Amino acid sequence: MLSPLPSARAMVPFVSVGNMMRLVHHLGVETVLAELTDAVEADFRRWESFDKTPRVASHSRTGVIELMPTSDGTIYGFKYVNGHPRNIAAGLQTVTAFGLLAEVATGYPVLLSEMTILTALRTAATSAMAARHLAPRGTRIMAMIGNGAQAEFQALAMKAVCGIDTVRLYDVDPDATRKTMRNLAGSGLRTFACASAQDAIEGAGIITTCTADKQFATILTDNMVGPGVHINAIGGDCPGKTELHRDVLRRSDVFVEYPPQTRIEGEIQQMAPDFPVTELWQVVTGAAPGRRDPRQITLFDSVGFAVEDFSALRYVRERLAGTDFYETLDMIADPDDPRDLFGMLQRAKAATR
Ligand SMILES: NC(=O)c1ccc[n+]([C@@H]2O[C@H](COP(=O)([O-])OP(=O)(O)OC[C@H]3O[C@@H](n4cnc5c(N)ncnc54)[C@H](O)[C@@H]3O)[C@@H](O)[C@H]2O)c1
């Protein structure tokens, strides 16, 4: 007798926001950031085994909604993510996300997860991965310009992975800076509220820009940036949305995730299509040099690439094993006789009578 009950394979583990937060606290936020940095780096080391494509973006007047797919031939993954800088004024998040992993062999999903928190974690982990190859040796001070939702994650990843002990904060909205200082109290980081971006970068070896504005902005101008720093540019990630003056790019060695996407979305959209860049995966594998010279300005032109989300989802899947930090969802219609989908529907009707 065929059953209307879902089969075990129809049930997909689902990590809600509540369970993601439990998982992160169970492991410890800095442990997660450090382990995720290693997970992202491990996948960058096998970069050539991934299917890669620029993300599919649907732009509107207020923001963008994007799909970010990739596969390593065994597992397929995608993320749904938005970016709406004006949401903040309405009390909404600028960035929200969820994502899925599936088995390539059958196409069956194996994980569905919230990714708003996970995106903040993976973006910070990717920044830390880049900085550990590019930042000046022994740097302890980071400037953090833009103190919104991503800020604490960026600061804690740089602490856990690169040994940053001081964060100099600036935001056009002082309430955002106060919120970040409150959240970082007790983290072991020394925090300072600064009066301007110029003030924030004083003495910093790493400068992170993480602002949200749907326009060409100039958070850093050429005269502000001295030699020997590493710039971690997070917020310029859409056509028409950048943070750095082009003269800063001209003086920097620019490192990117996936050039076909970054040339559309990153800071380098301001430059000619053949503007020289180095792919980060080549630095990770040793095929290209990272920092060569203490006076060099290195710039990670971060836009966020699908492989980082894939690494993060796989990390979560591994860490879920043996925990109860997930529910299972009846997500896939999977009749005992695969051709009898309609029969399964009919039996369900009988079962509800
Ligand atoms: N590269 C990536 O992988 C990646 C991933 C996630 C988010 N992002 C981008 O990072 C940015 C920050 O994201 P979020 O979730 O923290 O946004 P958010 O809206 O929570 O915070 C942005 C902050 O920037 C401040 N700000 C705006 N203009 C400023 C300026 N000129 N100077 C100083 N501060 C300014 C705002 O007051 C706000 O506090 C967004 O642009 C987002 O699209 C990039």
Residue 141: φ, ψ to 5°: -115, 130
Total-model pTM: 0.96
The domain that holds 185 is classified in CATH as: 3.40.50.720
Pocket test for ligand 1, best of 80, 96, 150 (most atoms within 8 A of CB): 150
Give the up-direction half-sphere exposure of residue 18: CA atoms within 13 A in the CB hemisphere: 3
In the chain, what percentage of residues exceed pLDDT 90?
93
Quick one: pLDDT at residue 350? 82
Residues 156 and 112 in one domain: no
How many Å lie between the centroid of ligand 1 and the Cα of residue 117? Answer: 15
Ligand 1 interacting residues, C-beta cut-off 6 A: 83, 88, 94-95, 119, 123, 145-150, 170-173, 176, 210-213, 217, 219, 234-235, 237, 302-304
Q: Hey, which of 92, 94, 115 would you mutate to test ligand 1's pocket, going by the most ligand atoms within 8 Å of its Cβ?
A: 94
Q: What pLDDT digit, counting tens, does each position of 270-321 carry?
A: 999 999 999 999 999 999 999 999 999 999 999 999 999 999 999 999 999 9
User: What is the mean predicted confidence (pLDDT) over 249-273?
Assistant: 97
Ligand 1 centroid from CA 104, angstroms: 35
138 and 278 share a domain?
Answer: yes
- 3-state DSSP: the chain helix, strand, coil percent, rounded to 5? 40, 25, 35
In this structure, the answer to whether residues 112 and 251 fall within a common structural domain is: no
Cα Rg, the chain, nearest whole Å: 22
Catalytic residues: 237
Residue 122 lies in a domain: no
Q: What angle do CA 171, 173, 176 make, to 5 degrees?
A: 75
Query: Are residues 184 and 321 located together in one domain of the fold?
Result: no
pLDDT for 353:
72
345 and 281 share one domain: no
- pLDDT for 3 equals 54
Which pLDDT score, from 0 to 100, does residue 4 have? 59
Query: Quick one: which atom of ligand 1 is closest to the CA of 123?
Result: 3
Q: Could you give the CA distance from residue 254 to residue 43 in angstroms, rounded to a whole number? A: 21
Centroid of ligand 1 to alpha carbon of 234 (angstroms): 8
pLDDT over 70 (residue 333): yes
Minimum-distance ligand 1 atom for the alpha carbon of 81: 6
Range of the domain at 73: 8-117+308-352
Q: Residue 213 — pLDDT band, cuts 50, 70, 90?
A: confident
101 falls within a domain: yes
pLDDT band for 1, please (50, 70, 90 cuts).
very low
CATH code of the domain containing 15: 3.30.1780.10
Structure confidence by residue, pLDDT tens digits, 101-150: 999 999 999 999 999 999 999 999 999 999 999 999 999 999 999 999 99
158 within domain boundaries: yes
- 20 C-alpha vs ligand 1 centroid, how far in Å? 22
Within a domain: residue 1? no
The residue whose CA has the least distance to atom 26 of ligand 1 is 211
Q: Among residues 126, 115, 113, 100, which one has the least CA distance to residue 36?
A: 126
Round to whole Å and give the CA distance between 281 and 349.
53
* Whether residue 274 sits in one domain with residue 244: yes
Q: Are residues 87 and 101 in the same domain?
A: yes
pLDDT band, very low/low/confident/very high, at 324 (cuts 50, 70, 90): very high
For the stretch 145-181, what's the b/e string if a residue is b when 16 or more beta carbons lie within 10 angstroms of its beta carbon? bbbbbbbbbbbbbbbbbbebebbbbbbeeeebbebbb
Atom 31 (ligand 1): residue with closest C-alpha?
219
Output the residue whose Cα is nearest ligand 1's atom 30.
172
CA 204, CA 229: separation in Å to the nearest integer?
Answer: 7
Residue 3 lies in a domain: no
Is residue 342 within 8 Å of residue 27, measured between CB atoms?
Answer: no
Residues 25 and 142 in one domain: no
Alpha helices, H only, 135-234? 151-162, 174-184, 197-200
pLDDT tens digits, 22-73: 999 999 999 999 999 999 999 999 999 999 999 999 999 999 999 999 999 9
Does 223 map to a domain?
yes
Given ligand 1 and candidates 59, 64, 234, 299, which is best to mutate, with the most ligand atoms within 8 Å of its CB? 234
Shared-domain flag, residues 283 and 178:
yes
- CA of 108 from ligand 1 middle (Å) equals 35
Q: What is the mean pLDDT of residues 171-197?
A: 98
Ligand 1 atom, smallest distance to 238 CA: 43
CA of 240 to the centre of ligand 1 (A): 15
2 lies in a domain?
no
Do 313 and 299 share a domain, yes or no? no
- Closest-CA residue, ligand 1 atom 33, reads 171
